[in-house]
Amino acid sequence: MVIKPKIRGFICTNAHPVGCEASVQEQIEFVKKKGPIDGPKNVLVIGCSTGYGLASRITAAFGSGAKTLGVCFEKEPSEKKTATAGWYNTAAFHKAAKANDLYSKTINGDAFSHECKQQVIDLIKSDLGSVDLVIYSLASPRRVDPDDGTVYNSSLKPIGNTYTTKTFDTSKKLVHDVTLEPANQDDIDNTIKVMGGEDWELWMKALNEAGVLAENCRTTAYTYIGKELTWPIYGHATIGKAKEDLDRAASALNHSYSDLNLKAYVSSLKAVVTQASSAIPVMPLYISLMYQVMKDEGCHEGVIEQIYGLFNDLLLADNPPVDEAKRLRMDTVETNDEIQSKIKQKWELVTTENFDELGDYAGYHLDFLRLFGFGIDNVDYDADVDPMVGWS
Ligand code: NAD
């Protein structure tokens, strides 16, 4: 099959197995080049197949030599249709781990379900004994309650008032105003159900009850805090309320498992192009302008740079610096006043006509294509490739 990108709105509906493997390999090379991290040995990554979770898995395995157990929710390939990118990324990760004598197993299933948690626990018991780091990196639009089957959908809505802002339509290539209707209480509650801390707590409870959390275990969930430009649609919006709930959950986890000396953190990461962020209104425009500013200033970072820095400087340290809500902050270069004021200046001026000049949409779009294994150097996109790639 010759595989070319099929883009529909903010999503690409196919993926390239060779390109995904090359992009996973690039992240592995980055970590190997940076050097070893004295870190965890048995790591569970929930949401391991793309974005920040994949970078976490790669950093744990290739930075600290950790055995990794991953959980993701990806579609396998058929003879006619490619798998999702996360499927191919996972296959590539397994291949590279095997070549480096590193244990890796992945469960492809619904992380919110009791069954998935039990499968993970059984594997930890049989293969690892316990885990000393749990990364919670799920980004999902919906959650099925594991007890009563209720389906909760998250939403990306402002809170309080209707909000009008600039956005960039990636299909029509237009900068235009968009008006977003405010959330009602159900929207807020449902988003907290999906993206808040409840499921993170359920995971830690199940792992603890099964006796598979190692003493001094660390766990982190990821957040985005941002600044004024993104607060109305992120930090102070429905998703921000869910992220606030992570802060509550981290504090509860630290309290509940103090006998294990468990340390639970929310880690705030910078905005990057991932499947999750490209679905958020305003983000493609904000990220394009921010990329341009940060590249001009020589401080641009992607997922692997952020996660390597998090592991090396903060997450595994004995007493890492934390902010007022006890979060670890990897986003301070993006959110500092100087960078933000440069982004704001561009934001005020940006139109469809000057967007390419003021922003780095080319960089944004390339990162977007790369999520699906396209746009990667030295990959022959005219070649016939077998989509039926898997892992054991
Ligand atoms: P992503 O879309 O790249 O990854 C999501 C992961 O979750 C994938 O591995 C997917 O398979 C998995 N997943 C989704 N639903 C699942 C389910 N039901 N069961 C099992 N696995 C499931 O997202 P991302 O951008 O890397 O986001 C990860 C975390 O990082 C999120 O909490 C997000 O809010 C946070 N974050 C993202 C950004 C950003 O700019 N992308 C910035 C800061 C923080």
Whether 302 lines ligand 1, by a CB cut-off of 6 Å, is no
Whether 275 lines ligand 1, by a CB cut-off of 6 Å, is yes
What is 7-141+155-370's CATH topology? Rossmann fold (3.40.50)
The predicted pLDDT at position 258 comes to 97
**The pLDDT of residue 126 is above 90:** yes
**The pLDDT of residue 276 is above 90:** no
Q: Which of the residue ranges 34-43, 236-245, 279-288, 314-323 would you say has the lowest mean pLDDT?
A: 279-288
Whether 277 lines ligand 1, by a CB cut-off of 6 Å, is yes
Distance 322 CA to ligand 1 centre (A): 23
pLDDT band at 9 (very low <50, low <70, confident <90, very high): confident
Please spell the DSSP secondary structure of 244-261, one letter per residue: HHHHHHHHHHHHHTGGGT
Q: Whose CA is nearest to atom 24 of ligand 1?
A: 51
Are 71 and 206 within 8 A, CB to CB? no
**The pLDDT of residue 278 is above 90:** no
- Per the residue annotation, which of 88, 152, 222, 234 is the catalytic one? 234
From the list 198, 195, 177, 199, the residue with the least C-alpha distance to 187 is 195
Distance 189 CA to ligand 1 centre (A): 20
Which of 11, 222, 331 gets mutated to test ligand 1 (max ligand atoms within 8 A of its CB)?
A: 222
Alpha-carbon distance 165 to 357, whole Å? 20
Q: What is the pTM of this model?
A: 0.98
Whether 93 lines ligand 1, by a CB cut-off of 6 Å, is no
Whether 199 lines ligand 1, by a CB cut-off of 6 Å, is no
**The pLDDT of residue 110 is above 90:** yes
Instruction: List, as residue ranges, the binding site.
Output: 47-52, 73-74, 110-111, 138-139, 224, 243, 272-274
Q: Which of the residue ranges 190-194, 269-273, 279-283, 360-364 would you say has the lowest mean pLDDT?
A: 279-283
**29, two tokens:** 């090379």
Q: Can you tell me whether residue 78 is helix, strand or coil?
A: coil
Alpha-carbon distance 117 to 16, whole Å? 30
Model pLDDT for residues 82-92, shown as the tens digit of each residue = 999 999 999 99
The predicted pLDDT at position 261 comes to 97
* Strand partners for 266: 221
From the list 373, 313, 309, 327, the residue with the least C-alpha distance to 59 is 309
The residues, ordered by sequence, that sit 6+ positions from 156 with a Cβ below 8 Å of its Cβ are 233, 237, 238, 239, 279, 280, 281
Mean pLDDT of 16-32: 98
Are 92 and 20 within 8 A, CB to CB? yes
152 is catalytic: no
**The pLDDT of residue 275 is above 90:** no
Distance 116 CA to ligand 1 centre (A): 17
**The pLDDT of residue 31 is above 90:** yes
Alpha-carbon distance 319 to 382, whole Å? 51
